[in-house]
Amino acid sequence: MNMKKLNAALLLLALIFAACATPAAESNEKEKEKPLKEYTGEPVEHVFPDLPYAFDALEPYIDAKTMEIHYDRHHRAYYNNFINAIKGTELENASLEFIFSQMSKLSATIRNNGGGLYNHNLFWEVMAPGGQGEPSEELKNAINRTFGTMDAFKEKFNNAALTQFGSGWSWLLVKEDGSLAVSGTANQDNPLMDTEKVRGTPILGLDVWEHAYYLKYQNRRGDYVQNFWNVVNWDEVNRRYSKAKK
Ligand code: MN3
């Protein structure tokens, strides 16, 4: 074989290799992208919500500066990053609940920022200046059935908040069968995500990221968790409970 023929043969081999390699690489990529279910619900326009009260409204339990930074910087950043991540995709107008039900197939960016958006939306609403209302008879009965007493429930919820290593949340949630449970989640995960072991609809949540309490409480997460009960909006928790257990 002369050099010209050898070069031609090598070129041919390279072309064959490239032709084979390209579809193989593509099919590997496709395997990573497991198919999403199609969203068939009402189109959702994701908005950044107003804070339902002034920055200083939850004083002295949550200080104004923390509220301002938490809402206007942290929450807004989750919202902006989430919107950018879903823009122009099939998820652009899908509900957060739908997105969370597909979480295991989606990116860390959508998980962290979609979670951050939803969790803070809920968090502001389940608090009110000086606290509001009390658990409904229905919710109280369910809490007593599940945890024994209201105090035992609070202890379990506090414990989930205190034992969450690093950043995360503690939750009271309604499972698919209508029963209650307490869980803790890491980062911006929540019980709606298909990545969670304890799944359901959260009706009360507490942010235990340091950004939620560090300015006022420094390392004293326990004091922050105790004080949270002074600002719980039970009217809102009751509303979410009635809706979730239907
Ligand atoms: Mn937060």
Distance 213 CA to ligand 1 centre (A): 9
Residues 6+ apart with CB under 8 A from 246: none
Please indicate, yes or no, if residue 94 is contained in any of the structural domains: yes
Distance 100 CA to ligand 1 centre (A): 18
Please indicate, yes or no, if residue 20 is contained in any of the structural domains: no
pLDDT at 11: 58
User: CB within 5 A of ion ligand 1: which residues?
Assistant: 207, 209, 212
Please list the residues that pair with 161 across neighbouring strands.
Answer: none
Distance 70 CA to ligand 1 centre (A): 6
Distance 129 CA to ligand 1 centre (A): 18
Please indicate, yes or no, if residue 212 is contained in any of the structural domains: yes
How many domains is the chain built from?
Answer: 1
Please indicate, yes or no, if residue 219 is contained in any of the structural domains: yes
Expressed as residue numbers, the domain containing 113 is 62-246
- Annotated binding-site residues for Mn(2+) read 70, 120, 207, 211
Residues 6+ apart with CB under 8 A from 211: 66, 69, 70, 74
199 in Cβ contact with 175 (< 8 Å):
yes
Tokens encoding 35: 């198919």
Distance 146 CA to ligand 1 centre (A): 28
- Annotated binding-site residues read 70, 120, 207, 211
Distance 124 CA to ligand 1 centre (A): 10
Give the model confidence (pLDDT) of 99-111 as tens digits: 999 999 999 999 9
pLDDT at 32: 46
- What is the rounded (10 degree) CA torsion for 198, 241, 47, 194? 20
Please indicate, yes or no, if residue 28 is contained in any of the structural domains: no
Amino acid type, 241? Y
**Residues of the chain scoring pLDDT < 70:** 1-33
Amino acid type, 167? S
Distance 50 CA to ligand 1 centre (A): 16
pLDDT at 35: 83
Q: Report the share of the chain in percent with pLDDT over 70.
A: 86
Distance 92 CA to ligand 1 centre (A): 23
Please indicate, yes or no, if residue 156 is contained in any of the structural domains: yes
Please indicate, yes or no, if residue 37 is contained in any of the structural domains: no
Distance 116 CA to ligand 1 centre (A): 7
Distance 23 CA to ligand 1 centre (A): 43
- Rounded Cα gap, residues 203 and 205, in angstroms: 7
Please indicate, yes or no, if residue 57 is contained in any of the structural domains: no
The CATH number that applies at residue 130 is 3.55.40.20
